Structure 1
Amino acid sequence: MALSSSCWKYLVLTFNVLFAMSAVALFGISGFLLYRMFIYRHFIGVNVEYPAILLLMMAIITCSVAWIGWRTTKSMHHIHVVMAGILIVLVVIIEFSCFVWAMVDWDNIEIDIKSTMTNYFMETSEIKDPNSPDTLRWDKLHVKFECCGVSGPSDYTSTGHVPFSCCGQGPLDSLHKPYTADCSTLYQRGCGKQLHEYAKTHLLYVAMAALTASILQSTGIFCTFFLANAILVRRRASIRNSTSIRESTFAAPDDSLLSPTAPATLPKF
């Protein structure tokens, strides 16, 4: 049993190292995906970013759980190892919930993005300053996705002018030059569909990262609880051996009075 518990000990220690490494990888992936969606938060809304935020937080928590698992495994205390296993279970459950959340958002994102973009367009369409932050956001969006407005150039009919960024021109270089080029060909597609596909792709990446992490990290649940069981079995075996030794010691008869050197008769007083 001692060999078995030792093997499980080193296996769980190895898992905790890999657990921490997966947390670092998850932190980088979720942080990158969160950044990619955050830069378009005015168009897609913040609700789309919540699964990535949760995944980023879980990456930080996972590092702490890996450290706790390492310490408890080295101590070989049964209750502490069980508690570490429970923490791993909670991490895996939350990461799987993050996967489900991202997939639900992925399925309903089209309506949310179109509503958010339409409201933002109505709020900023009357701005005349070409260098205002809102105008520059629309310009960058137009050039990045080669689109115009929410559903097309017709969105700017009410404003009386179409920005030059709708044909890939505008104050987007390092000097932020004013509009000087003559726009002859407009992008006919709207940005709503392009941004919808962009957000869906990144949400799918978030979901796949959460699912992969939950599946890989779930292996630690079995290793940790097998170690806890091995510790318990070894402790019970140790208790049985100690009890057997004590019982054999007290049950041994004292034959000293029957030895040949013992007096034949008891002394008289």
Structure 2
Amino acid sequence: MALSTNCWKYLVLTFNVLFAMSAVVLFGASGYLLYRLFVYRHFIGVNVEYPVILLLMMSIITCSIAWIGWRTAKSMHQIHVIITGILIVLVVVIEFACFVWAMVVWDSVDIDIKNSMTGYFNQMLGANQPESPDAIRWDRLHVKFECCGVNGPSDFGKKGAVPFSCCGQGPLDSQFKPYTSDCSALFQRGCGKPLHAYAREHLMYVAMTALLASVLQSTGIFCTFFLAQAIHKRRRASIRTSTMRESTFSAPDDSLLSPTAPAATLPKY
């Protein structure tokens, strides 16, 4: 029984090391994906970023739980091991919820992006400031995805001209002459579809990262609760052995009262 308990102990210790390493990898992956979505937050909306933000928070919490699991596995306290197992269950459930959430957002992201881009585009046109941060963000978007406006160059019909960025020139090239009516290489497609595909691709990465993390980390649930069961069995065996030993050494000597003992004789004078 002691050997079995020790095996589970070292297995749980090994899992906690891997648990912490997976948290570091999860932190890096979710941080990178959050950055990739955060760059275009003005166009795709903030709602798209919520699943990856939650996943990033869970990676930080996972590191703390891995440290707690290491300490409890070394101390071999059953109640602490059970609490650690419950915490791991919560982490796995929340990570799986991130997967579901990302897939839900992935399915409806086209509506969010269309509303966000249309509102932001109208705001940029209404300001009529070609050197403003909003206009420069649109210029960079045009150059990055080789697109123009939300649905195409016709979105700039009210202006009567399109920005240089719709011709592939960088945002700083149009500092003194932001609009032009002469462009031989005008991008004909709008930015809505390319940005929609970009957001869906990264949301799929977020969903797959959350699903993989939840599946791999769920193995620690079985290891932790099997360790708690092994500790419980070893404690019961230890109590049983201790009770038997105490009953053996504390039993009274009744040999003088046994029927086979010689009868007492009276002293002779």
| TM-score normalised per structure 2 | 0.92
In structure 1, the partner of 2:208 is: 208
Q: Distance in 2 between matches of 1:214 and 1:81?
A: 20
Secondary structure of the 2:162 match is coil
- Cα RMSD (Å) of the superposition? 2.1
Q: Distance in 2 between matches of 1:267 and 1:112?
A: 113
Contact 1:169 1:183 in 2 (8 A): no
In structure 2, the partner of 1:149 is: 149
Contact 1:140 1:172 in 2 (8 A): no
In structure 2, the partner of 1:60 is: 60
AA at the equivalent of 2:193:
K
Per the TM alignment, residue 177 of structure 1 is displaced from its structure 2 partner at its CA by 5.2
Per the TM alignment, residue 13 of structure 1 is displaced from its structure 2 partner at its CA by 0.3
In structure 2, the partner of 1:250 is: 250
Q: Distance in 2 between matches of 1:12 and 1:111?
A: 46
Per the TM alignment, residue 252 of structure 1 is displaced from its structure 2 partner at its CA by 5.6
Contact 1:127 1:135 in 2 (8 A): no
AA at the equivalent of 1:227:
L
Q: Could you tell which deviates more after superposition, 19-28 or 154-163?
A: 154-163
Q: Distance in 1 between matches of 2:183 and 2:194?
A: 22
Q: Could you tell which deviates more after superposition, 39-48 or 246-255?
A: 246-255
Per the TM alignment, residue 226 of structure 1 is displaced from its structure 2 partner at its CA by 0.4
Contact 1:145 1:194 in 2 (8 A): yes
1:140 matched to 2:140? The reply is: yes
Contact 1:26 1:56 in 2 (8 A): yes
Q: Distance in 2 between matches of 1:206 and 1:179?
A: 41
In structure 1, the partner of 2:227 is: 227
In structure 1, the partner of 2:13 is: 13
In structure 1, the partner of 2:70 is: 70
In structure 2, the partner of 1:241 is: 241
Per the TM alignment, residue 249 of structure 1 is displaced from its structure 2 partner at its CA by 2.3
AA at the equivalent of 1:32:
Y
Contact 2:34 2:53 in 1 (8 A): yes
What percent of counterpart residues are identical?
71
Contact 1:143 1:165 in 2 (8 A): yes
Per the TM alignment, residue 23 of structure 1 is displaced from its structure 2 partner at its CA by 0.3
In structure 2, the partner of 1:84 is: 84
In structure 1, the partner of 2:94 is: 94
Per the TM alignment, residue 245 of structure 1 is displaced from its structure 2 partner at its CA by 1.1
**Which whole-Å deviations, capped at 9, do the CAs of 1:156-203 have from their partners, x for residues lacking one?**
001222111011114347xx8544885212111110000000000000
Q: Distance in 1 between matches of 2:177 and 2:133?
A: 16
Q: Distance in 1 between matches of 2:224 and 2:264?
A: 66
Contact 1:150 1:190 in 2 (8 A): yes
Q: Distance in 2 between matches of 1:97 and 1:257?
A: 74
| TM-score normalised per structure 1 | 0.92
1:38 matched to 2:38? The reply is: yes
Contact 2:140 2:171 in 1 (8 A): no
Per the TM alignment, residue 217 of structure 1 is displaced from its structure 2 partner at its CA by 0.1
AA at the equivalent of 1:75:
S
In structure 1, the partner of 2:187 is: 187
Q: Distance in 1 between matches of 2:252 and 2:172?
A: 96
Q: Distance in 2 between matches of 1:172 and 1:208?
A: 38
